[in-house]
Structure 1
């Protein structure tokens, strides 16, 4: 369940909000005058979100290539290429 707190808590209970963000690994939604205003989250959680967005972008690009008829590789070709990259390092 998302945590929704008034903006006054950000000023008065910052340490509590920081603890929630770090221990529960979820964002805290801050309201101002009863309406959504900010989202506060830990750096770790934010980095996870960015990684997911990057993955989704890559998946969308791959799906677009697939739908546009780009040449496809077989399972064996993919693993042969990966093994070659691994052996180079």
Structure 2
């Protein structure tokens, strides 16, 4: 993880840009606390595209059925999946 002070964005922009291109997102801090993340357009589009694709797929699936889930059902299923993943990694 690449962490730099936010002043580097102003004072060493070229270095920050190079770090982003070569190593991925750069996490900027202000007064010792996380402030923002800088990433390339390609990295952003990759992340955002994945989310958009998943939402598009969900919309298409929802249009083909009348079955709906409650908030509790959805988050319970997610929690089970996360718990299962944690248990599998412990093995």
TM range (shorter): 0.5 to 0.7
Q: Which has the larger radius of gyration?
A: 1
Q: Superposition RMSD on alpha carbons, in Å? A: 1.9
- Note the residue ranges of structure 1 that are not aligned, 5 or more in a row: 70-89
- Note the residue ranges of structure 2 that are not aligned, 5 or more in a row: 68-91
Q: 1:33 maps to which residue?
A: 31
Give me the TM-score of the superposition, normalised by structure 2.
0.60
Matches within 5 A, 1:1-89: 2-24=1-23, 26-62=24-60, 64=62, 68-69=66-67
Q: 1:72 maps to which residue?
A: none
Aligned mates of 2:58, 2:2 — CA distance in 1: 31
The count of aligned residue pairs is 67
